[in-house]
Amino acid sequence: MSYFSDVERDLVVAARTVLADGIVALDLVAHNGRDLPAWEPGSHVDLIFSDARVPAAERVERQYSLCGDAADRSTWRVAVLREDEGRGGSVRVHEEVQVGQRLRVRGPRNHFAYEIVPAVTHRFVAGGIGITPLLGMVRAAARAGAEWTLDYAGRSLSTMAFVDELRALDGGAGRVRLYPADSGARLDVAGLVDAASDGGPVYACGPARLIAALEDGFEAAGRAAALHVERFEAIEYGEPVWPDPFEVELALSGDIVTVQPGQSVLEAIEEQSPTTMVLSSCRRGTCGTCEVPVLEGEIEHRDSVLTPLEREQSAVMMVCVSRAACPRIVLDA
């Protein structure tokens, strides 16, 4: 994680563009015209809609993937799907944010890093607004001369952002396959798993049902490690493996907090050790902002960010959702 991942800055909305039905893009620039921090495909930023004086637990913050050109340091672009049944951030963007307005932005942060692997085909799978973190990866693959394909599903062509740009990147080679549901097109997950048998990486982002189908398919094929996913929706977990209260020692401050059943580690820290600074944003385990190093103890990871290997290593935990699997843990906080 870079130094800039926790830095907040005020940026100016330089442009507001309708990309597709229900999707608008915001182009964000520095108010003094300077370059913004570099970012890599897969990165996201937090848009902060609340005043800094609002308690952390009540702040309205939302995460959006950077989908502009990573080579252009002057501008960050995010694309926002309006979700009337969501948590309110997208409605604010669609109804309130205007050109010239300043927005508080944190980041960038990247838990969905892309790596170009030579001599294999890079496969990308997008569902709906899940195209946003993948667009930069497609650009990077195209610029590197790598072999790549994109399978992109949506409700209809009118709701699918970036189609023209993707077709231009494809150059008529047939690497971009579109599946608008209203035309009867359906993404064949089983066929995609079979096609990826060359061992190349597969990067996917989209609705929970699509991600689950891909995970099941690659797991059944014995190639789970080839699949890299980002979720916009939190994974649903059952009851905690350690249902009782547990203690968390904060190594930097020396404080010890007690986490009750139904309370998150983050909430316990905020209530019992208010001088301990732990950044948070989504508070549901999808953004990675509240990642804290683990020094001792067993962790039950309940986030939607860490890979299976990272969970096994347990070097860090997302304190907004993950819990101890033992009576006491020690965190580097």
Tell me the per-residue pLDDT of 197-237, one tens digit each, with 9 for 90 and over. Answer: 888 999 999 999 999 999 999 999 999 999 999 998 888 89
* pLDDT of 194 above 90: yes
* pLDDT at residue 23 in the model: 98
> 242, exposed or middle or buried, with CB in 10 Å at 0-12, 13-18, 19+?
middle
Spatial separation of the C-alpha atoms in residues 305 and 301, rounded to whole Å: 10
Distance CA 215, CA 225 (A): 10
- Supply the pLDDT for residue 5: 72
Phi, psi values for residue 168, rounded to 5°: -65, -40
Q: Is the pTM of this model over 0.95?
A: no
In terms of Cα–Cα distance, which of 226, 289, 306 is closest to 44? 289
Q: Taking phi first (over 0 means left), then psi (-120 to 50 degrees means alpha), and beta for anything else, what does residue 325 get? A: alpha
The answer, yes or no, to whether residue 2 has pLDDT greater than 60, is: no
C-alpha closest to that of 281 among 78, 58, 38 = 58
* Cβ density class 99-131: b for 16+ within 10 Å, e for less: eeeebbbbbbbbbbebebeeebbbbbbbbbbbb
Domains belonging to the chain, first-starting first, are 3-109 (2.40.30.10), 121-231 (3.40.50.80), 246-331 (3.10.20.30)
What's residue 52's pLDDT?
Answer: 64
